Structure 1
């Protein structure tokens, strides 16, 4: 995807020609799936409304695809030309280098207190919030209603029921009874969803990596023996199957079950696939925790526009603007006031199950500068753990070693 720029102005110190005027520069990610709904249009409307009420402040927004935005911001920062704000996928490295304002520095008390507590906590490093959540998502188990009816199935609530359903779907000739995307695109997400449903996770919930825990070994061993070895995950090896391909197969009616986020609803509906959604099954019942994902807004200190940035972000996080963004892109609001509205609104009823899961969600350990390296290694290695003959214990041990080393390097 090519970068979508709202403005070519990226250099300079951020001051306009008027001595008291300020130009704020924001780099943002594109959430759209077509030219008709790219994020450039969302920001243009929001900025027009803001500038109309704030003479003397201009906001220049540059929108890049998700393939490019994190790299573009890093290059700007490395060149000494940090934007005032960046809406991207991670914040920990910049926080560790003391380049960011905290939320306390910027936001009014009502706005800061309005963030979902789980998301606000995930944005903290050593008790200070540097990452301001901008968009959120959770996962549910999607199932194809037609295929389930043909196999006389009800949605699973336990791992055993999921495996039995997959067996029945395979017997009916379903191509992917359960799609298990552990390919390089987003293996860390599918893995985390399963680890949580098995009572484990990447960390102990506080600060220590526990990748090689007994619970995690048991989870991957179950996946290897009960799904993959029995050929219940389709013709493509999980380590070669990417999320986008699994979603496309679901929209074609080729998948019985898979973990999905809200955007899959629209994709499936366009193709006429009737689907249901239920919480992720756990070992003995509904999973006690689910995976949440957040993208982040961060503010760099380099240009010194603390007051103007804070006022603009208060506007960005107003209930109306958070609702507009969430509804446009089928994402979950990151503030409690907007969540309350969506939970009660008939127009948002499709998103309510995901909203309900957000309260139970755990996020990646994004406050750790080591997470990027650990996540990359999960993407490379985890698929081999569930191959027939693979060793979950060995792979998880290797990943734990990677995490421990990366943590030591970060601390040093």
Structure 2
């Protein structure tokens, strides 16, 4: 059985360690400075080859911009609360930014003013632009790290097509967070009135549309 929101809990710790360390891996673009970008109030201890942080020496606050509302936002807050209960030194500050259009506009403005948050909910296509402009860090070394990363089983717990949608040249610059499913409603009364059967092919859909169009 797949876990709901499989990535946020462990990923939050990875981000906390990365942000507290304040230094991305070699050859990676640094995170934008200023504003809410830097995690507050802590340093991380590097205890292994590669100097990746694996322990926090003090409290960290992670600002996370999102576009969740209603029950989705309630679920997100419940997940964040459970994570913070298990990791009292890491505080997740959830900031709703309206709908996806509002969020994209605010991220664009924050990028220009170098006040980006530590984490943000995005659509995969946005990440391409962020990557080209050096606004995101390669997460692969942290995901694959033996101490703070995921096991193969944990990574495989995320549906493969969603994982690959967050990879660029085989490297992770984002991780799947939520997925919407588009559906089509139709008026059964109108179908019966016009003698139209439910279409099963694209050609039948076009024919039905012609018969149903006033």
**Short-chain TM bin:** 0.5 to 0.7
- Structure 1 unaligned regions, length at least 5: 1-9, 176-412
Contact 1:103 1:112 in 2 (8 A): no
**CA offsets, 1:100-135, max 9 Å, x none?**
232552351333222222222222211212231222
Counterpart CA distance in 2 for 1:136 and 1:17 is 33
2: CA distance between counterparts of 1:152 and 1:27?
A: 49
For the pair 1:61 / 2:94, whether they are aligned, the reply is yes
Is contact 2:191–2:212 with CA below 8 Å preserved after alignment?
A: yes
Q: 1:101 to 1:83 in 2, by over 3 A?
A: farther
**Secondary structure of 1:147 counterpart:** helix
Q: Structure 1 residue 58: deviation in Å?
A: 1.0
Matches within 5 A, 1:10-409: 11=36, 13-16=38-41, 20-30=58-68, 32=69, 37=70, 40-66=73-99, 67-89=101-123, 90-98=126-134, 99-103=136-140, 105-106=142-143, 107-109=149-151, 110-170=153-213, 175=214
Secondary structure at the aligned position of 2:121 is classed as strand
Structure 1 contact 148–169 (Cα < 8 Å) conserved: yes
Structure 1 or 2: more helix by fraction: 1
* Structure 2: runs of 5+ lacking an equivalent: 1-34, 44-56, 144-148
CA distance in 2, matches of 1:93, 1:131: 12
Shift of 1:152: 2.4
**Structure 2 residue aligned with 1:210:** none
CA distance in 2, matches of 1:12, 1:116: 29
- Give distance in 2, aligned partners of 1:104 and 1:151: 59
1:180 aligned partner:
none
1:71 shift after superposition = 2.1
2:36/2:116 contact within 8 Å kept: no
Relative to structure 1, is the Cα distance of residues 12 and 149 closer, same or farther in structure 2, using a 3 angstrom cutoff? Answer: closer
SS at match of 1:135: coil
Q: TM-score, normalised by structure 2?
A: 0.61
Displacement of 1:168 after TM fit? 3.0
C-alpha deviation, 1:39, in angstroms: 5.1
The alpha carbon displacement at 1:78 in A equals: 3.0
In 1, Cα distance between the equivalents of 2:42 and 2:171? 35
CA 1:92–1:156: 2 relative to 1, 3 Å: same
**How many pairs are equivalent?**
157
Deviation at 1:53, TM superposition (A): 1.1
Equivalent-residue separation in structure 2 for 1:69 and 1:76 (angstroms): 10
Q: After the TM superposition, which segments of 4 or more aligned residues of structure 1 sit over 4 Å from their partners?
A: none
Q: How far, CA to CA, are the matches of 2:42 and 2:140 in structure 1?
A: 29
Match of 1:295 in 2: none
Give the CA deviation at 1:16. Answer: 2.9
